[in-house]
Chains A and B, each alone.
Chain A
Amino acid sequence: DADVTQTPRNRITKTGKRIMLECSQTKGHDRMYWYRQDPGLGLRLIYYSFDVKDINKGEISDGYSVSRQAQAKFSLSLESAIPNQTALYFCATSDFRAGGTDTQYFGPGTRLTVL
C-alpha cells in the first residue's frame, strides 16, 4: 500500500466551483506539503505544515487554502477555481524529527482541470 495517497487522482471542474484535494499518509511524518507542477516551471510550493497547529504559506498560496485535520491528513482547497489553476498537484511528507535530512516523499498526484 502507498505511504502517501491523494484523492481524487483526476478531477475536471468548472470555473467558480469549490474543490478539495485530499492527502493522507501512513508514514507517521510530522511535515506535509502541497505543490503544483506546471510544464517548464517545475514544482512550486503552495502551503506547508510543520504540525497540526503550524500552517505556512508557500510561494504561490493565493487562491488556495489548506486544512491539517490530523497529523496524517492535509487537504488543499480551491475556493473558486479558475482555469489557470489547471495543473498537477502533489502532496509530500517529511520527517524532520528523524535527523532532519529534509527528504520529502511524494504522493501520486492529482490532475486537476478547470474549464
Chain B
Amino acid sequence: AQSVTQLGSHVSVSEGALVLLRCNYSSSVPPYLFWYVQYPNQGLQLLLKYTTGATLVKGINGFEAEFKKSETSFHLTKPSAHMSDAAEYFCAVSDRPFYGGSQGNLIFGKGTKLSVKP
C-alpha cells in the first residue's frame, strides 16, 4: 500500500534562505506524486505534480520538486523564501494499485508548516 512521510511538522527559515521540505513515499508501482499548499484559512491548492517524464518538476510561486526513485523521495525546494510562502505544505501520492489502475485516490502526508522569519 502507498504511504507518505513528511519529515518535520514545522520548518522555519529566514526570508531569502533556501526552503527544503522533505517527502518520502512508499509505493510498489510508479507513483503519481503531488505537493499542495494551504494558506491560512484557505483550501488546498496544487503546487506541482509528477506523473511521468522529467523528474524535476516546476510549480507555481518558484517551487520545484525532484522525483528520486532510488531514494523514494519527492522533496520540495525553493531557492529563496518569501514571507508570503508561510503556509502548510502537504505531500501526496496516488494510491493506484497498478500503473494505469482505476483507484486514483490520494494519500496525504501529515503536513509541514513553514514559517518565514524576516
User: What residues of chain A have their CB less than 8 Å away from a CB belonging to chain B?
Assistant: 4, 31, 33, 40-43, 45, 48, 58, 90, 92, 94, 96, 100-109
A94 cross-chain contacts in B, Cβ below 8 A = 104
Whether A100 lies near B104 (C-beta < 8 A) is: yes
Determine the chain B residues whose CB is within 8 A of the CB of A90 once the complex forms.
43-44
Question: Are A100 and B100 neighbours in the complex by a CB distance under 8 Å?
Answer: yes
Judged by a CB distance under 8 angstroms, whether B105 is at the interface is yes
8 contacts between A and B (CB under 8 A): A41-B110, A45-B105, A94-B104, A96-B102, A102-B32, A102-B34, A103-B46, A109-B42
**B interface: dominant SS:** loop
- Which residues on B are within 8 Å of A, measured CB to CB? 9, 32, 34, 36, 42-46, 49, 51, 90, 94, 96, 100, 102, 104-106, 108-111
Residue in B closest to A45 when the chains form the complex, CB atoms: B105
Instruction: Using A43-B108, A90-B43 as known contacts, list a sample of 16 further A-B pairs with CB atoms less than 8 Å apart, ordered by residue number in A.
Output: A42-B90, A42-B108, A42-B109, A43-B90, A48-B105, A58-B105, A94-B104, A100-B104, A102-B94, A102-B96, A102-B105, A103-B46, A104-B106, A106-B44, A109-B42, A109-B43
Per CB-CB distance, the 7 closest pairs between chain A and chain B, nearest first, are A106-B43, A42-B110, A102-B94, A106-B44, A102-B104, A43-B108, A108-B43
